[in-house]
Amino acid sequence: MMEWQVQKAVTKLQSNRLTAILKVQSAMMQEVHDYMHEKGLLQLMPVMISPITDPLNHSVLEGEISYYGDKLQLTKSMILHKQLSLLGDREGVYIVSPNVRLEPMERGATGRHLLEFTQVDFELKGKKAADVMEFMEALYARIFAKVKKECAQELAFLGRTLKTPHFPMKKFDSAELKRTLGSDWEKMVSKTAGDPIWVTNHEREFYDKEDLDRPFTYLNYDVIYPEGFGEGLSGAEREHEHPRILERMHRNKMELGPYGAYLEVAKAGLLSPSAGAGFGVERLVRFLCGAKHIEEVAPFAKVPGGKFVF
Ligand code: AMP
Ligand code: MG
């Protein structure tokens, strides 16, 4: 007799349900690669350890390793590396990027948090929020069409009726939503929205650009999936000028020391204006498949607060 947690893992790994979900994921990722290639973005391989990573706007447990006395962080996102990768004559980059975020155990119940997940993370030089929105909506349209066409059997097996979203997607301002719906606005709009929506203007990390014409308004955006699936993508126009970056780091009460090399590059005026976004692969697969918990779509899911066997 296997120990029950091992048995549970084996049952999942053997299941036809996981096969159907992985077929949907494969079709989706094929479309992502085709699209990025057609649009001329260059694929970067993932950075998984570095002296710096995304400071994030919410707290997670530290994921740090020591290498001959040097501290290296496990990648939370490649945002800073994406910006740096545009130093050369490159118009756009993308990465299928493994991220480790040691989320507090309460987040196990959200149905959309894992300790390790994968982002499709992209950055476009010289582009604005509106360009990224258009770029992403075209990609969503292609993914939905591909999955509905090639995975009709799998979707039927999963009991999923997948509705093609309406484009262009509607846009809402987060401050406005907070005013009208209160602090739980994200949950409420996700439950009631019939289609994915854009929510703009979130107060968060230093690298999301502030609109200087409207101080304390931010040129960033999230996609909220309908049916209660919640946030699926975050992105922004980026701060790239040294004084602005410093101002925003100070506002977020950040320690500058660890970002010394990044700040040197910014001070030398080498960063370009850019905009981009990242969407969680597992979250989109969960939405496409109509899975109750993100755990179902990751073969070796690490749910915050859970027990891990593989
Ligand atoms: P962020 O920039 O922090 O919003 O992360 C980008 C995207 O990654 C989010 O919009 C989600 O789709 C996905 N994501 C973030 N954190 C997690 C997590 N703990 N588990 C699964 N997916 C996540
Ligand atoms: Mg986010």
pLDDT digits (tens, 9 = 90+) for 164-216: 999 999 999 999 999 999 999 999 999 999 999 999 999 999 999 999 999 99
pTM of the model: 0.97
Measure the CA–CA gap between 259 and 91, rounded to whole angstroms.
25
Q: For residue range 230-259, list pLDDT tens digits in order.
A: 999 999 999 999 999 999 999 999 999 999
Measure the CA–CA gap between 78 and 135, rounded to whole angstroms.
20
Which residues make Cβ contacts (< 8 Å) with residue 4, sequence separation at least 6? none
Task: State the average pLDDT over residues 281-309.
Answer: 97
> Which atom of ligand 1 lies at the shortest distance from residue 232's CA?
12
Task: State the average pLDDT over residues 2-22.
Answer: 96
Q: For residue range 139-166, list pLDDT tens digits in order.
A: 999 999 999 999 999 999 999 999 999 9
Quote the percentage of the chain above a pLDDT of 70. Answer: 100
Please indicate whether residue 146, judged by its CB atom, sits closer than 6 Å to ligand 1. Answer: no
Quick one: pLDDT band at residue 2, thresholds 50, 70, 90? confident
Closest by Cα among 286, 267, 278, 176 to 234: 278
> Which atom of ligand 1 lies at the shortest distance from residue 278's CA?
6
Ligand 1: centre distance to CA 239 (Å): 21
In whole numbers, what is the pLDDT of the chain averaged over residues? 97
Residue 1 has pLDDT above 90, yes or no: no
